[in-house]
Amino acid sequence: METKVFTTTEISAAAKLLNEGQLVAFPTETVYGLGADATNVDAVKQVYLAKGRPSDNPLIVHVADVETVERFAQPLSEAAKKLIKAFWPGPLTMIFKLKPGALAPEVTGGLETAAFRNPDNAATIDLIRTAQTPIVGPSANTSGKPSPTTAQHVLHDLKGKIAGILDDGATEVGVESTVLDLSTDQPAILRPGAVTAEAIEAVIGMPVQTELHHVGATEVPKAPGMKYKHYAPNAQVYIVDRTEDWPQALKWAAEQKLQIGVMATDQILSVNQLPANCERFSLGSDIQSASRELFAGLRHFDTETEIKDILCQSFENKGLGVAYMNRLNKSAGQTHFSV
């Protein structure tokens, strides 16, 4: 099929496709999502087919307001209400218990819970309101590959497989939303993101579990990214853990016969001489820019060059660095450069 790219002045046309059961990718502040009417089972099934996504990997439901969540979820707790007031719209996804039969198993992965998010993007909020339906929205990429942070990334992966893409430029955060499970007695972060555990605890006044990012092969994940391979380019990624390891890493790179990709901050790139067979990709100046550019860099080396190995800078595992390192470790298959 033809994949139409819509501008933010053509939202009504994109909404019409959603109402017809078609798939339309949409922008958020984190990454681009692959949208379908969350109440249309056939449309939701097409999301899994377009992405090549396992059917037990649940989808996040994107909404324009809290009232939509209350249509589907059981009564919200006081903690949920506080978090909604503090972080919505924004990069926080929350898992709630559902009213019986409220959403199809295709949306929930067969669970009695579902994940909801109110994205901080005016074009997408307008899209949801115009379509008058909540929309599911996994990342708009081939399953397992780096998430898309531009409409061009979506077009590369899904051209001819989906009806449209709403283009609102590059995303701001660059890593997917924090997923917080509020369906259990103690809140738990199932996927780290820009909203940190410390920020959540400050709002609700209670501890949050943070070590539940993986499930076993026979378990059904409650959130995306907990079970299957994610964020991986075709090239092998090696994580360079310390600043003092870069000279040795680049010496190793110079000894390789193939081109090597190097993803690092401007500081690292400015003080280390790159060998002739290395291509650089700047992660900017800090963890904020690195998180925003991580997937773009992985995609750059995947689609624009013949690079088979990538050296990528590590960051301290705190604050936004928790989300960055979560994605980078999965991209690398936990592979670190060893001196």
**Superfamily holding 236-332:** Threonylcarbamoyl-AMP synthase, C-terminal domain (3.40.50.11030)
pLDDT in tens, 32-84: 999 999 999 999 999 999 998 776 678 999 999 999 999 999 999 999 999 99
Q: How confident is the model at residue 211 (pLDDT cuts 50, 70, 90)?
A: confident
CA 313 to chain centre: 20
CA nearest 203: which of 182, 225, 177, 176?
182
pLDDT in tens, 275-287: 999 999 999 999 9
CA 6 to chain centre: 22
Q: How confident is the model at residue 327 (pLDDT cuts 50, 70, 90)?
A: very high
First to last CA, the chain: 49
CA 166 to chain centre: 17
Q: Tally Cβ neighbours within 10 Å of residue 122.
A: 12
Q: How confident is the model at residue 218 (pLDDT cuts 50, 70, 90)?
A: low
Report DSSP state, residue 99: P
Helix residue spans in the chain (DSSP H): 11-19, 41-51, 66-72, 78-87, 105-108, 122-131, 151-158, 197-204, 246-254, 266-271, 287-303, 320-332
Q: How far apart are CA 326 and CA 287, in angstroms?
A: 13
The domain spans of the chain are: 4-86+96-171, 236-332
For residue 253, give both structure tokens: 């790179």
Query: Residue written as tokens 């990012």?
Result: 213
Average pLDDT over residues 242-257: 96
- CATH 3.10.129.10 corresponds to the domain 4-86+96-171: no
For residue 261, give both structure tokens: 């990709």
CA 26 to chain centre: 13
Average pLDDT over residues 96-117: 93
